[in-house]
Each structure stands twice: as C-alpha cells, then as structure tokens.
Amino acid sequence: QVQLQESGPGLVKPSETLSLTCTVSGGSINRYYWSWIRQPPGKGLEWIGNIYYLGSTKYNPSLKSRVTISVDTSKNLFSLRLSSVTAADTAVYYCARATATGYTLEWRGYFDYWGQGTLVTVSS
C-alpha cells in the first residue's frame, strides 16, 4: 500500500520560503507523476503543480513564479518550495500521487494516494 508523508516547518515568516518534503513508502516513486495540492482553512482545494519522476514539471500559472517542485528518486521523495510567502499561503498542504489516464502530452489523470496533510501557517 502506497503511503505518502509530508514533512516540514509548520510556521513560516512572511517573505520567506516555504519548504516541504513528501516521502513515499510502500511503492516506488518511479514511473509516476506526483503532485502538491493545498487547502486554506475552511476553503476549497487548489492544485499547485505536478512533477514526473524524471523531473519534468507543470505548475499552476497563478503560483508559477514562486513555485519549485523537485524529485529525488534515490530517496523516494519529492519536494515543494514556495518563495515570498504571505498570509494567503497559509493552508494545509497535501502531497499526492497523480496517476495518468492514457498517454497524452500533458498529464491527465487523478490523485489516488494522498498524504495526511500538513498545516503551514505564514505569520511573523
């Protein structure tokens, strides 16, 4: 059974960089896409971006200038960095496996395994 676990600081100061890691266990990170998704308290879900195990990425244009997603296949994990954070970035951050449906140039599929989520608060 694939399991994902987010880790990282729960409190980040405004203007600094949020950094989270998602460790994958019970399965290999290889041959899959992986995602970060966030949810502000009491609100809906927002897709941040995807990464393929070979390193190619796709980001939400609304965050693209501030987001970097990277992968370390040797450690079976992938990471999120979000720079210049503000209070609007306060959210529960989830990592998820993004399984593709078919073979298309751009990832299309579904999020079938999720981490438990980690709350990141942006505050001084």
Partner 1 sequence: DIQMTQSPSSLSASVGDRVTITCRASQSISTYLNWYQQKPGKAPKLLIYAASTLQSGVPSRFSGSGSGTDFTLTISSLQPEDFITYYCQQSYSTPKTFGQGTKVEIK
Q: Which residues bind partner 1 (CB under 8 A)?
A: 44-47, 50, 58, 60-62, 94, 96, 101, 106-112, 114-117
CB of 88 to partner 1, least distance (A): 16
The 10 Å CB-count burial string (b at 16+, else e) for 48-57 is bbbbbbeeee
CB of 75 to partner 1, least distance (A): 22
Q: Which is nearer to partner 1, 42 or 124 (CB)?
A: 42
Q: Which is nearer to partner 1, 53 or 114 (CB)?
A: 114
CB of 41 to partner 1, least distance (A): 11
CB of 28 to partner 1, least distance (A): 19
Strands 33-39 and 46-52: antiparallel
Q: Which is nearer to partner 1, 8 or 117 (CB)?
A: 117
Q: Which residues contact 29 (CB under 8 A, 6 or more apart)?
A: 53, 71, 73, 76, 77, 78
Q: Which is nearer to partner 1, 5 or 73 (CB)?
A: 5
Residue 77 · residue 95 · CB < 8 Å: no
Euclidean distance between CA atoms 63 and 74, whole angstroms? 28
